């Protein structure tokens, strides 16, 4: 089965309002013909590299990492919203 080369450069960005702490995953094809996923936080961080893997596995890895980051972000956001609502309710109760 031939190796797909279209995974090189495949990239996704995680959720969040601040670019400085936003996760990014990018697939790079190594000199060995294998694929590696570079995970960075913000613009200037050194990448954490996962691999080697096939092109298909690298794309699945990027998709899974982004999916997990989105789930965690939504959970955190709803937790913060819940605390905010509870604080508003408690303040109104004291008035």
Give the total number of structural domains in the chain: 1
Phi/psi-derived region of residue 46, left when phi > 0, alpha when psi is between -120 and 50, beta in every other case: beta
d(CA 40, CA 66): 12
Decide which of 90 and 59 is more confident: 59
- Residue 18 forms part of a structural domain: yes
- Residue 4 forms part of a structural domain: no
- Residue 49 forms part of a structural domain: yes
Phi, psi of 87 (to 5 degrees): -65, -40
At residue 12, does pLDDT exceed 50? yes
pLDDT interval class at 6 (50, 70, 90): confident
- Could you tell me the pTM of the whole model? 0.78
Tell me the residue range of the domain where 14 lies: 10-93
At residue 56, does pLDDT exceed 80? yes
At residue 4, does pLDDT exceed 80? no
Secondary structure E strands in the chain: 11-13, 23-29, 35-41, 48-53
- Residue 52 forms part of a structural domain: yes
């Amino acid at each position: 089965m031939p190796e797909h080369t279209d995974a090189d450069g495949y990239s996704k960005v995680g959720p969040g309002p601040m670019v400085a702490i936003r996760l990014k995953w990018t697939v790079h094809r190594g000199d060995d013909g294998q694929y590696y996923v570079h995970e960075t936080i913000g613009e200037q961080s050194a990448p954490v590299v996962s691999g080697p893997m096939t092109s298909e596995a690298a794309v699945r890895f990027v998709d899974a990492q982004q999916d997990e980051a989105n789930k965690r972000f939504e959970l955190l956001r709803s937790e913060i919203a819940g605390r905010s609502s509870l604080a508003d309710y408690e303040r109104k109760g004291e008035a």
